[in-house]
């Protein structure tokens, strides 16, 4: 039965936003037809902005070593790499003295910071964090707070935890926006509590930075970590931006070329002195292409954030209104249905395995979503009502600059059809994931069989 969705979907006003690569990509369906791809998985990895692709193409002929070459191309790449630091500072509203350390992604950034905190630092964080922010902190000085019932409860819980923390350095690790529910955390209020107790704040901004402005000064945080692959710059670069004192005092995160000021022999030993700046934690040949891509994305988004926010809010209203009309669908929320959120929604559908839902959306409708526990197993399992169990999982839909109103319409119609009539094709579990039986969809020619 074909379901036509009408009144539940509010109209969307056209907003000018930066174009993305792949907006006209077509994918095959199991019935042998092809359809324009509906990418509703921006929270995992966002496509490149066209401006980012063009910037990378412009740089590639000049590609050369950074900081280590006298050749003109090396000088160009060194300048590009260093000017990107200034762009990142502006993008997150950093202080002039803040360090900008280029990393691979948010996970890399937070692991770096975890290595740099002074010995004995008391670390407080919520168990709702993404694994990138939850797992790097180990030992008896780490206190993990349970999922709060609301944003006000989060503030009270942090206040109590810091009041009980031992004397000495203190660090609060916060997420800016949940990668499970999209809900925006009360960062400024939590930071104010941290300040009263003399604590510093590290902010995981991976999910907020592509959707809203991030301002270190306005939020009063000490470090911000973010990823290029979520910021429409999927070229392998991220950044840790913030106070430099702990970073300067720490042993390098990686050791090797670029981190060293001098290396000499002393008998049978090697003596090393490390550079004092951000390069101390950037050993190895820098990913200048990824860094340039990240900086370009930040510049483009920084100029057009008003349009980005308006575009995503219109899509989110349309999406949530449509999902609310799907029988048996339950949206997950930490703080309640009316809490502010970015363009991320996770849900379950009664009687349907989340992996099967995702497989049907892909194979029969050309829609890409995420299913599972979203690298936030503790929080997602608790929201699903099965703390500690991985038996139940959820579907996550995330909108972004590549999303259109038609994509949302198609998703809602596909879910209503699936609930009413079940899958149109036959599916089976293959290596733990649902897939069409004898899947006829051809891979593109550049993808080769692994042997």
Please write the tens of the pLDDT for every residue from 117-155: 999 999 999 999 999 999 999 888 999 999 898 889 999
pLDDT per position as a tens digit, 255-310: 998 898 899 988 888 889 998 888 899 999 999 999 999 999 999 999 999 999 99
pLDDT at 449: 75
**Where does the pLDDT of residue 443 fall: very low under 50, low under 70, confident under 90, or very high at 90 and above?**
very high
Same domain, 337 and 225: no
Same-domain pairing of 264 and 345: no
| DSSP category for residue 346 | E
Output the pLDDT for position 201: 98
Query: Average model confidence (pLDDT) for the chain?
Result: 93
Q: Tell me: the pLDDT tens digits for 167-201?
A: 999 999 999 999 999 999 999 999 999 999 999 99
Answer yes or no: do 192 and 312 share one domain. no
My answer on whether 158 and 242 are in the same domain is yes
- Considering the domain architecture, whether residues 294 and 329 belong to the same structural domain is answered as no
Query: Looking at the structure, do residues 236 and 211 belong to the same domain, yes or no?
Result: yes
Span 64-76, pLDDT tens digits: 999 888 899 999 9
259 with 279: CB under 8 angstroms? Answer: yes
Whether residue 341 sits in one domain with residue 272: no
Instruction: State the residue range of the domain holding 238.
Output: 51-300
**Domain total of the chain:** 2
Determine the Cα angle at 194 with ends 188 and 196, to 5°: 110
- From 21, 254, 325, 375, the catalytic residue: 375
Q: What is the DSSP letter of 136?
A: S
Q: What is the pLDDT of residue 119?
A: 92
Show which of 236, 267, 300 is a domain's final residue: 300
My answer on whether 111 and 192 are in the same domain is yes
**What CATH number is given to the structural domain containing 72?**
3.40.640.10
The 10s digit of each residue's pLDDT in 210-253 is: 999 999 999 999 999 999 999 999 999 999 999 999 999 999 98
Per-residue pLDDT band for 11 (boundaries 50, 70, 90) equals very low
Distance separating the N- and C-terminal Cα atoms of the chain: 42
Last residue of a domain, one of 300, 329, 353: 300
Task: Among 300, 327, 357, give the residue marking a domain's end.
Answer: 300
Total Cβ atoms within 10 A of residue 116? 23
Query: For 97-108, what is each residue's pLDDT tens digit?
Result: 999 999 999 999
Cα separations (Å) of 451 from 239, 439, 447? 36, 20, 12
**Structure confidence at residue 268 (pLDDT):** 84
What mean pLDDT do residues 5-17 have?
51
Would you say residue 95 has pLDDT above 50?
yes
Give pLDDT, residue 448: 84
Establish whether 298 is a catalytic residue. no
One domain, residues 418 and 287:
no
Q: Is the per-residue pLDDT at 389 higher than 50?
A: no
Percent residues over pLDDT 90 in the chain? 84
Q: Are residues 329 and 209 in the same domain?
A: no
Name which of 185, 177, 181, 206 is nearest 44 in CA terms: 206
């Amino acid at each position: 039965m074909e379901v036509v969705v009408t009144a539940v979907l509010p109209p969307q006003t056209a907003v000018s936003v930066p174009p993305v690569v792949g907006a006209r990509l077509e994918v095959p369906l199991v019935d042998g037809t092809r359809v324009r791809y509906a990418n509703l998985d921006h929270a995992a990895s966002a496509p490149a902005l066209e401006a980012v692709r063009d910037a990378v193409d412009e740089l590639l002929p000049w590609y050369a070593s950074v900081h280590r070459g006298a050749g003109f191309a090396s000088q160009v790449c060194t300048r590009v790499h260093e000017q990107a630091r200034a762009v990142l500072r502006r993008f997150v509203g950093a202080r002039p003295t803040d360090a900008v350390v280029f990393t691979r992604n948010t996970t890399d950034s937070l692991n770096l910071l975890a290595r740099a905190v002074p010995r004995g630092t008391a670390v407080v964080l919520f168990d709702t964090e993404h694994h990138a922010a939850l797992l790097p902190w180990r030992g008896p000085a780490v206190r993990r707070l349970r999922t709060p019932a609301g944003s006000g409860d989060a503030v009270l819980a942090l206040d109590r935890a810091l009041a009980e923390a031992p004397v000495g350095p203190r660090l609060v690790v916060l997420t800016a926006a949940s990668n499970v529910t999209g809900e925006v955390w009360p960062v400024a209020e939590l930071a104010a509590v941290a300040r009263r107790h003399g604590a510093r704040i590290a902010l995981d901004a991976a999910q907020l930075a592509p959707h809203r402005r991030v301002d270190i000064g306005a939020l009063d945080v000490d470090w911000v970590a973010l990823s290029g692959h979520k910021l429409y710059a999927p070229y392998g670069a991220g950044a840790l931006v913030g106070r430099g004192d702990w970073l300067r005092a720490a042993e390098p995160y990686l050791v090797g070329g670029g981190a060293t000021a001098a290396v000499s022999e002393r008998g049978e030993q090697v003596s090393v002195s490390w550079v004092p700046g951000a390069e101390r934690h950037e050993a190895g040949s820098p990913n200048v292409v990824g860094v340039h891509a990240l900086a370009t994305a930040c510049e483009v988004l920084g100029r057009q954030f008003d349009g980005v926010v308006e575009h995503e809010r219109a899509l989110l209203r349309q999406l949530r209104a449509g999902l609310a009309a799907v029988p048996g669908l339950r949206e997950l929320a930490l703080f309640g249905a009316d809490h502010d959120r970015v363009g991320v929604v996770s849900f379950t559908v009664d009687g349907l395995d989340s992996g099967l839902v995702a497989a049907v959306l892909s194979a029969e409708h050309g829609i890409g979503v995420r299913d599972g526990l979203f690298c936030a197993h503790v929080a997602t399992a608790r929201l699903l009502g099965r703390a500690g169990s991985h038996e139940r999982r959820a579907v996550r839909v995330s909108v972004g600059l590549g999303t259109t109103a038609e994509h949302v319409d198609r998703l809602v119609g596909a879910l209503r059809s699936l609930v009413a009539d079940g899958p149109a094709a036959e599916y089976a579990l293959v290596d733990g994931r649902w897939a069409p039986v004898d899947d006829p969809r051809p891979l593109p020619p550049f993808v080769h069989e692994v042997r």
